[in-house]
Amino acid sequence: MKGEFKMAKLLYIQSSPRKERSSSNKIADAFADAYLKQKPKDEVVRINLFEKVLPPFDGFTINAKYNIMHGQKHSKSEADAWAIVEGIIEEFKSADKYLFSVPMWNFGIPYRLKQYIDIITQPTYTFTFEQDKGYKGLVVNKPAMVVFSRGGDYSNPEIEKQVDHQKSYMNLLLGFIGFTDIKSVAAQPTLAGGPETASVKIKQACEQAENIAKNF
């Protein structure tokens, strides 16, 4: 309807299992609070990927996917398995805006976030491929904010280029499924510099995140 104001849904996806001890969640919480202060009518929906039930993305589910997508015969249990995947994709795509909190694990991302990505990154749902046009993301016109935390300090761009598979991967993946407006902050080092440095870095990252939230 003309002039109608639509409330936006911000999907906040946490990938640290450390609950209130998590630095990435703390910074993302600061972002979400600042966001809601600006837009009190909007909705923030929080998902913690270590609490959410995620189906294994295994051979059975992949067979179900191919059988269903290629219009081939499939069993009831295959249809059920694929419906669970579709439900998770639908929940992901139902948001207008996204907030991710992502600790660095072994230079990359926590395995539950990778599992979630393997579930939601599906042809015809979040991207398409056409022989003449190549790949095209389908999650478009939606901003994303990503909070990174790292035990070490990779703020030197040369070092980051050599070892980072956390931020570079998130940027690659989000870009692949259609995101063009990706903002981020990184708190580092949260371990290597000792607790005092960590608390300064986390506080600085909270302030940066709050500033980004004002115009998100």
Residue with smaller CB distance to ligand FMN, 103 or 143: 103
What tokens were used for 64? 């179900």
Residue with smaller CB distance to ligand FMN, 152 or 178: 152
Is the distance from CB of 156 to CB of 192 less than 8 angstroms? no
**How far is residue 124 from each of residues 98, 105, 120, measured CA to CA in Å?**
20, 30, 11
Torsion sign, CA atoms 198, 44, 97, 213 = negative
Asked if 191 is part of the footprint of ligand FMN (rule: CB under 6 A), the reply reads: yes
Asked if 165 is part of the footprint of ligand FMN (rule: CB under 6 A), the reply reads: no
Closest CA to 209 of 173, 184, 189: 184
Single out the segment in contact with ligand FMN by CB under 6 A; choices: 61-69, 77-85, 91-99, 147-155. 147-155
Asked if 151 is part of the footprint of ligand FMN (rule: CB under 6 A), the reply reads: yes
Single out the segment in contact with ligand FMN by CB under 6 A; choices: 29-37, 103-111, 117-125, 205-213. 103-111
- Binding residues for ligand FMN restricted to 24-43, rule: CB under 6 A: 24-25
Strands, E, within 32-96: which ranges?
A: 43-48
**Contact set with ligand FMN (CB under 6 A):** 16, 18, 22-25, 103-107, 149-152, 190-191
